[in-house]
Amino acid sequence: MKNVNDGKIYLAGGLVTIVAAVFLAVVSFYSILVVEPRVDRLLTEGEKLDRDGMDLKFREAYLVLRNPQLFAGYTHFDMEGVTVKNVLMYFDRKVYNGEYLEIMGRDYLQLLLRRRMKGSTLGRNTMVFMLVVSLAFWIAYAHERRSVA
Amino acid sequence: MIAILSAILIVSGCIKKPEKPISPAFKVDVLNEGGTETFVFKISAGIQNENHDVALTDVKGFLHIIDGERRVLSVPYTLKAILPYELGVIDLEQKIAEKDLKPVLDLHKIDMADVRKNRGTEGVYLDEKNILLELSSYAKRDILDLLRERAAMKDAIVEKKKAAEKQKDAQK
């Protein structure tokens, strides 16, 4: 019986999953390490300031959150996510009209932040999965190489 | 590969255009202005922006009341901005001549004599087969760019006010 060499398939699989893992890592950790702490800082600083200062900080936080995390977009909403849609409509109109964002808005901004955090967590967990699958491919590849040799 | 990438670019640049008006309705009031009978035609409808990151600004168009292929009445509208997921509301009122109003009433089997007697009509919902939304022109704006622009405008106004107040205090 002809000895089938699956080495190329394992190599391709290992490379593709590593690339996917790197992409997921960049996207997720940028959010986890840079964006989310920045928003949290803006919200925390904002609630200690006067009306004008709070408005500036909350507005800046909203403009950051308005750009969704790659894995927590604003296109599809489940039952839990419908509140997010309403929050977007509310803040879009407020910022558009030049109205002040006040302390009551903090909880809604936290809601958007939590959605972003769920997205980055999903990305991070998927990255781990990809790394595990990649490792399996590399082990299989190494085994195949030894068998052929 | 290039074709696939181009297709992705094209699709991602497309927006969902509003196609149908939401809950269109009209109402007629009959006024007596200096002995002259005047008909006031009021029409209302919603335009839904289903995009999540694109605002429609300077929206202009027409609401056409139609009977099959024939346009019975056309009413122009303008909306400044419909933000993402928002329902833009068209709420218009215009004086209308009897000869222009009659075809609309006939389409809904409303007798002109009853309209005169009751000094108008109740709100009449327009069936979707009798109303056509025309979007003549609009601008697409990325919501983030638009909001940043509006925020900058507000900051400029606040700065001007503060400067004016400082000047006033200095003069005192």
ipTM: 0.84
**pLDDT-derived band at A77, boundaries 50, 70, 90:** confident
Chain A (78-117) residues lying within 8 Å, Cβ to Cβ, of chain B: 85, 88-89, 92-93, 95-98
Q: Is the pTM of this model over 0.90?
A: no
Question: Given an 8 Å threshold on Cβ–Cβ distance, is A59 in contact with B52?
Answer: no
User: Do the Cβ atoms of A64 and B115 come closer than 8 Å?
Assistant: no
**Unique residue bearing structure tokens 């060499």:** A5
CA pair distance B86, B80, nearest whole angstrom: 13
pLDDT in tens, A1-49: 566 668 889 999 999 999 999 999 999 999 999 999 999 999 999 999 9
Q: Cα-flanking dihedrals φ and ψ of residue B64, to 5°?
A: -105, 125
Residues of chain B with pLDDT under 70: 1-13
Partners of residue A92 in chain B, C-beta under 8 Å:
55, 83-84, 86, 143, 147
Q: Do the Cβ atoms of B84 and A66 come within 8 Å?
A: no
Q: What strand order describes the sheet that includes B22-33?
A: B87-96, B36-48, B22-33, B124-125
Residue A19 or residue A78, greater confidence: A19
Give the residue on B whose Cα is nearest the Cα of A63.
B144
Q: Tell me what pLDDT residue B10 has.
A: 56
Single out the residue of A2, A18, A5, A15 nearest to residue A146, CA to CA.
A5
Query: What does DSSP say about strands B54-67 and B131-142: parallel, antiparallel, or unpaired?
Result: antiparallel
Q: Do B146 and A93 touch (CB under 8 A)?
A: no
| Distance (Å) from the alpha carbon of B123 to chain A's nearest alpha carbon | 29
Q: For position A147, what pLDDT does the model report?
A: 83
Query: What type of residue sits at position A45?
Result: E
Rounded Cα gap, residues A49 and A57, in angstroms:
9
Measured between beta carbons, which residues in chain A are less than 8 angstroms from residue B150?
Answer: 95-98
CB B137 within 8 A of CB B76: no
CB-CB under 8 Å, B81 with A95 = no
Residue pair B35/B13 in contact (Cβ under 8 Å)? The answer is: no
**Which residue is listed with tokens 């000094």?**
B119
Identify the three-state secondary structure at position B95: strand
Residue of A nearest to B152 (CA): A98
